[in-house]
Amino acid sequence: MFLNLYIKSSKVFLAEVTDGLQKMRSEVKNILLRAGIEVIEPVNTAETNVENLMLNADCSMHILGNDNIIDNDSPVYDTPSAIQYRTAKGLTDGNFKMFVWNPSGIINDKNLYINDIRRDINDNTIYSDITSPIVFVEELRAIMNIKPSAKTDAKNYDILFIYNTLDRDSAKEVSNMLADLQTVTELEINAGADTDYNDFIQNQLPLCKLGIIYYDYATDWAPPFAQQVWKQTGGQSASTPLYIAGNSDHADETQLKPLKKIVSYTINEKSIIPLDIKIYYDKITGKTS
Amino acid sequence: MQPEICPYPGLRPFTEEESIFFKGRDMHIRHIIKLLEENKMAFITGASGDGKSSMVYAGVLPNIRAGFCKAKYNSWLIADFKPEKNPFLSLCESISEQLEISKEKTQSELKYGFSSLAKLYKESPFYTDGEQGKNLLIIADQFEEMFTNLENFSNGKPSDESYITINLLLETIRLSVIEKLPIYVIFTMRSDFISQCTVFKNLPEYIAYSQFFVPQLKRNEIRQVIEEPAKLAGGSISPRLTEIIINNLNSGFDQLPVLQHALNMLWKMADNGAVEIDLIHLAQIAGISSDALSTEDRAKFNIWFAELPEYQQKYYENPSLDNILNAHAGILYESAYDYFMENVPWAEKNITPEESKEIVETVFKSLTKTDNKRQVRNRCTINEITGIINKPHITNATVCGVINIFRTPENTLLQPFSVPGRLDTQYLSGDTVLDVTHEALIRNWKLLAEWATEEETFLKDYHDFATQMNRWLNNNREEQYLLSSGTYSYFLNWYIANTPNPYRFLKYDNTKNSYRQKLKLAQNQYENCIDFIELSDQAIKAQERSKRRKLMTAITVLAAFTVVLIMLTGWAMREQRNATEVAEYARQQADSALIQKERALRSQEMAEKANRDAGRQRAQAQVQASIAKNARDEALRAKNLAERRRYEADSLKTIALLNLQDAEWQKAVADMAKHDAEEQARIAREANDSATRLYSVAMSNAMAMRAKSEYGDKKLNLRIAYTAYLLNKRNNVTQNNAELYDAMLYSMEINNLVKPLKTTNETVVAFTIDLADRIILITEHGRIIGYNVLDRKAKEFVNISDFVSHDQIHNAIFLSPELIIYSTINKETFCININQRWQKKLSLQGDYVKSAMLTPDGRFFVAAYSNGRIGVFDADDPDDKPEANINLKTTIADIYCYGKSDVYLLTRNATLKRWNFKSNISQEIFSQAEVNAYAMTCIESKKLLAICFSKGDIQFLDLKTGTKESDMLGAHNRIEKIVYDNKSRYMAMSSLGNRISVINSNHINSKPLVVDDFLLHNFPVKNICFDSYGTMFVLTEENVIRYFESDITVYADFLSSLKVTELSQQEYSLILGQNFSSK
């Protein structure tokens, strides 16, 4: 079920704040605790101590006000809040996440530096100017609660050869011919089976050198299946290329729209298809130019 | 490999093809699939614009097709439908298509409800024991139409069709669960209609059993929506841009459409994803202030911004995510004219930039309406919008051309969308339904929001106006219910500001009527509206005049009246002996009445005298009674005498009472005589007025006859005809006068003022006039040309050569302005649909088509061939087998379609039959011996069928009762064609001898107006049509189209505009007093 009632326990490093934001920080701390999040606070402001504390936490949280904490010439540049911000920023190059909160939501003449902070956001920085601390904490908890997808027993294969039950006989012939040229692992998709193919393919395909989707009679199934696999495994950015092979007895190019634009394919006689696959395999693995 | 398609669809929903870019809902899709696997159904609800349909079509459906839903078979049948106006038919059509069963069979099976649908599936070849079967998924999309469409749900009750649809779906789900059938049902519905679902039995239980409420996207899901499509397409979005978009995105209504639109614009701004999409691109689409950019980016932006036209720069004043859509639509609005001038080949470039804006405004106003205080979409055809614009030079082609910029793949704010390089998607026919792509446009384009508010104000005023007008109509148009001075002034201003027309009223007709009925009602409403305003104006002016008149003294009025009366009488005596005689007779009547009055007065005096006498006698009797009483008191001896005297006194009293009654009766007689005398005097006055008018008509007729004489100066004929007209006008003789009409036309013709319309040089076979008063004609080679008629000139606006025929066309008939049927000289018959651009050969052939007509519902047309065969064809697929046919084996004269399926068939040997093509029963109505029949038409307002015979006489048949009505002489020769115009109520007949007689069906016994052979240059008539002003257009064998006004005032005004002067008194006497040689 998509409704997750269980919250993963997280640790948040709650950074120091500049003057005028103490009350807000205290309020946020209480909200974090009631949200079931452990709050880690710096006991001394030495940079190494701060970094260790941060690494002991799952993420850090920084509240912004009017004081410029990133400019070298700023009077607060050496204050704990500024130092802790810079330390966390340095850690975001790894997997550490930092949450930056601008509760006023407004960028005025006094806090123009927030524009610079916004321009400096990277993949692990979450910036929010939402006004409600409860909504902000809720978002933080949701982001930290994302479960990594379940891993199945994935293995490294040369070619993962996928086909539908409807094409079992035809696919076996092609697979056997192909096995003479390259190592092949078959995957038969049967709508009536209990297997969660979606999860399986998402985990398995990135470990293969090439994914083949073969079809003959299953013309209704293959194009949407290929689309979903392409989408679930990263599309143009995927590490493992997909190759569609259609038996020209029943397959034709018109069925592949819009896949034709994004995936390599062959529509050919059953006996030729293994050669086409081999040529493509050699091309992507660098055996031929 | 770079995909050519943009991974963000903008305002329109994701298609199944674009499912590869549909992200952010993976968890929700899995949950819905799980519901389907376990419960066989999923009832998806959510707020407006939260992507329910996209989630089904671009999320659930592709996953199901891909085999990610556990099911019996590996292949799927997808039967999706929207309830629209008849959910049962929509469901049947979809099921019929998927199960490959005829529509008729599907309907006849499913109408029994319950297990019918499951039974149909089980009996189909897709339910097998092996692996080759197919699962069935039924998608009931936009299920709220069950409640929003009045046809499905009104007064809190669902229609029968709605009920049976729900019954079928719920029972199918139940059986699928119990019998483990691979049938699945998905519903999508706006959550605000959940409470109304209780009107359907069991539905709430099923909803509770399998509901999925679409949740708002969480921050990390929005991040997926933003970033992942770009990654899938090989592009990227900077993290800082993602964070800023997430923070600036408003929650609630329109969150996703606004986001998708912004992403679509960003993708294009970043060179279709070729560079990383960043803050500068957001600034370039007016989504963020340039202050937020780095110094370097700001400098780049400023250079780019400086090159923008001034009108575009103003949209960057208040940048925000919501503003992107506002700026995009606003810029399109301002550039629509330039786009039209440069990119639209099919339309005339005869509009100004202001008119272009006016067109866009009208289009969007037409496409929005207020529903329960919410501004929502309102689908409209181009025809309806052109009708609302109501300018002769702005055609469907112009409207389509101007708004095309909103339909291109880059913009997609209006649907249907166009495809570059495909003219068939760019040029739309008038029947095409336009729709705003998403209601988010209405809420975010500030100008459109203002227009929608204006439209709401218009509607409110219209309702107020209609309430007052309906009160007037419901009270037999009585004067007291007309508008008062203040409200008249308000509504007149409203009318002038909005210039409403029938099409604008049509927009707000929410009844179940057909489009034709709605249009007819709207036209009636419009005419009533005009009458109401005009009559209110007249009544107010009359009241004002009345007040002014009260200021004059009664003596002055009386004196003036006397002087006028004496002058008129004297003048009438001098000028016309007949009038004098009538007046004299009237005076005699008046004198006679006066004598009677005097007699009555004398009778009254006598009666009064008798009354007085009786009074005296009664007094005497009373005295005597008194004496008698005294005498009785005085002596008993006198008792007998006294009693006798008392009896005498009683008798006298009775007589006196009788006398009194007689006197009162005499008085009543005298009063009646007096009233009679006054009535006689009134009749005399009216006779005098009538005599004056008759004299004037006689003089006018005499002048009119003189106008056809020859003089040295042809302009004199014009002046005589004009003088004759003025003579009538001054005496308030307003109705058309046949002699005067003849004289006016003759004198104009000899002065070369009646000019034909210049059209094509090719031979015209037939023509018609459409609702916008444009002429559409077909030539002998099949070319179709359309003309706007402006300032008495025909200006070509469309020229279609798609249907040029190898064989010469023998004859053609316009079934409607867009549907033509024609026969070639080789007796092959075809049907053309101009709007849909197809030509189909009729499945029935063999002779020339003699007559043809659309059925009133427009679904079929009936074609009668000269050899007596008659066929009924589907108007959309005439090349299919005829719906019905009959062979009369005799020469057909004419046909007329009436009601749903009745056709009146008139044969040359004057037999009239009624044929019901549904039941194939024909019945003879009458047969006329020794005459031939040639044509017929129907006076629709009176439901009278007019049948024309060989001697020029017309027999009327009441279609409601089937009885023969009176007949009349329509012409002095054989009537060959007859046409009735429903709007002007004119009936025109062309007869042998090349003459046309025109009769107003409201005054059927008045003398017809005649267009004679001289005016037709002695050529036979091929075709007659009327425009909406009642002007008659005639195509003759001379191959010209001539037109004749049916209202003589138009000609008179024309002569007045040419400064034609009235005859002087001297010329007048001279012309009427001398004998000139007559032509």
Looking up residue A238, the CATH number of its domain turns out to be 3.40.50.360
CATH code for the structural domain at B25-216: 3.40.50.300
Same domain for A193 and A105: no
Residues of B with Cβ-Cβ distance to A2 under 8 angstroms: 27-28, 30-31
Residue B683: pLDDT above 90?
no
Q: What is the mean pLDDT of chain B?
A: 87
Residue B1's pLDDT is what?
A: 39
What is the nearest CA distance from A43 to chain B, expressed in angstroms? 31
Residues A106, A179, single domain; the answer is no
Residues of A in Cβ contact (< 8 Å) with B1: 236, 261-264
Q: Would you call A262 and B132 a contact, using CB atoms and an 8 Å cutoff?
A: no
CA torsion sign for B417, B143, B184, B110 is negative
| Long-range contact set of residues A134-137: C-beta below 8 Å, sequence gap at least 24 | A134/A31, A136/A28, A136/A99, A136/A101, A136/A103, A137/A28, A137/A31, A137/A32, A137/A35, A137/A37
Of A194, A231, A262, Cβ closest to residue B3: A262
Gap from B802 CA to chain A (nearest CA, Å): 30
pLDDT of residue B1076: 36
DSSP per residue, A12-68: EEE----TT-HHHHHHHHHHHHHTT-EEE--SS--HHHHHHHHHHSSEEEEE--SS-
Q: Which neighbouring-strand residues pair with A188?
A: A163
In a domain, A151, yes or no: no
Residues of A in contact with B31 (CB under 8 A): 1-2
| Fold held by B764-927 | Methylamine Dehydrogenase; Chain H (2.130.10)
Distance of alpha carbon B271 from alpha carbon A6, whole angstroms: 44
Q: What is the DSSP letter of B141?
A: -
Contact B65 A258 (CB under 8 A): no
CA distance B292 to chain A (A): 6
Judged by CB atoms closer than 8 Å, whether chains meet at A115 and B69 is answered as no
Same-domain pairing of A100 and A135:
yes
Are B997 and B988 within 8 A, CB to CB? Answer: yes
Q: Are B465 and B529 in contact (CB under 8 A)?
A: yes
Q: How many domains does chain A have?
A: 2
Question: B554 falls in which pLDDT band (50, 70, 90)?
Answer: low
Q: Which of A100, A116, A117, A119 to mutate to test the interface with B (most CBs of B within 10 A)?
A: A119
How far away is chain A from the Cα of B311, in angstroms, using its nearest Cα? Answer: 28
CA separation for the pair B756, B113 (Å, rounded): 63
pLDDT in tens, B695-726: 777 788 888 888 888 888 888 899 998 888 88
Domain boundary among A111, A144, A177: A144
pLDDT at B515: 79
pLDDT of B632 > 80? The answer is no
pLDDT score for B555? 54
In a domain, A289, yes or no: no
In chain B, residues with a C-beta closer than 8 Å to the C-beta of A128 are 243, 247
Q: A219 and A279 share a domain?
A: yes
**pLDDT winner (highest mean) among A30-34, B510-514, B516-520, B602-606:** A30-34
A107 and B292 in contact by Cβ < 8 A? Answer: yes
At how many degrees (to 10) do helices B554-575 and B639-706 cross?
60
Same domain, A225 and A138: no
3-class DSSP state for residue B154? strand
Tokens of B1053: 């005004």
A166 lies in the same domain as A125 = no
Structural domain includes residue A226: yes
At B994-1019, the pLDDT tens digits run: 889 988 888 777 788 889 888 898 89
Q: Is residue A172 part of a domain?
A: yes
Q: Where are the domains of chain B?
A: 25-216, 218-307, 320-444, 461-550, 596-692, 764-927
Is there a contact between B71 and A235 if contact means CB atoms under 8 Å apart? no
In this complex, do B20 and A258 lie within 8 Å of one another by their Cβ atoms? yes
Q: Of B194-203, B258-267, B637-646, where does mean pLDDT reach its minimum?
A: B637-646
Residue A164 and residue B21: Cβ atoms within 8 Å? no
Contact at CB, B71 and A191, closer than 8 angstroms: yes
Shortest distance, CA A217 to any CA of chain B (angstroms): 10
Kindly provide the b/e burial profile for residues B912-931, where b requires at least 16 CB atoms within 10 angstroms of the residue's own CB: bbbbebeeeeeeebeebeee
Tens of pLDDT along B117-138? 999 999 999 999 888 899 999 9
Minimal CA separation from A224 to chain B, in Å: 5
Q: Which run of H or of E encompasses A199?
A: helix A197-204
Chain A residues inside the 8 Å CB shell of B233: 235-236
In this prediction, what percent of chain B has a pLDDT beyond 70? 93
Whether residue B181 contacts residue B175, with contact meaning beta carbons closer than 8 Å, is answered with: yes
Last residue within a domain, chosen from A144, A174, A192: A144
Cα nearest neighbour of A190 on chain B:
B74
Tens of pLDDT, residues B727-777: 888 777 666 678 888 888 899 989 988 888 888 889 999 999 988 889 999
∠ at Cα B225 (B219, B257), nearest 5°?
100
Question: Which residues of chain A make contact with B67, given a CB cutoff of 8 A?
Answer: 164, 189-191, 197, 221, 225
Q: How far is CA B1040 from CA B735, B745, B1020, B1025, in A?
A: 30, 18, 11, 14
Assigned token pair, A80:
């704990």
Q: How far is A33 from chain B (nearest CA, A)?
A: 21
Say how many C-beta atoms besides its own lie within 10 A of residue B588's C-beta.
Answer: 11
Count of positions (residues) in chain A: 289
Does residue B789 contact residue B775 with C-beta atoms inside 8 Å? Answer: yes
CB contact under 8 A, B292 and A118: yes
Q: A31: domain CATH number? A: 3.40.50.10140
CB B917 within 8 A of CB B908: no
pLDDT of residue B562: 60
Interchain proximity A125–B291, CB inside 8 Å: no
| CA-based nearest distance A254→chain B, Å | 13
User: Is residue A140 located within the same domain as residue A15?
Assistant: yes
Residues A125/A108, Cβ–Cβ less than 8 Å: no
- Domain boundary (A110, A144, A178) is at A144
- Residue in chain B closest to A100 (alpha carbons) equals B243
Per the structure, the complete domain to which residue A269 belongs is given by: 157-284
Do A131 and A172 lie in one domain? The reply is no
What does the pLDDT read at residue B240? 93
Confidence class of residue A211 from pLDDT cuts 50, 70 and 90? very high
The residue of A128, A236, A244, A284 whose CB has the most chain B CBs within 10 angstroms, and thus the best one to mutate to test that interface, is A236
> Is residue A152 one of the residues assigned to a domain?
no
Q: What letter represents residue B190's amino acid?
A: R
Contact B233 A228 (CB under 8 A): no
Same domain, A257 and A232: yes
Q: Establish if A29 belongs to a structural domain.
A: yes
Which range has the worst mean pLDDT, B281-290, B576-585, B663-672, B951-960? Answer: B576-585
CB-nearest partner of A191 from B3, B67, B234: B67
> Does residue A98 share a domain with residue A203?
no
With CB atoms and an 8 Å threshold, state whether A115 touches B292.
yes
Size of interface A-B (CB pairs under 8 A): 142
- Interchain pair B240, A221: CB under 8 A: no
- A16 with A133, same domain: the answer is yes
State whether A217 and A265 are in the same domain: yes
User: B780: closest CA among B818, B821, B808, B803?
Assistant: B808
Using CB atoms, pick whichever of B28, B73, B220 lies closest to residue A2: B28
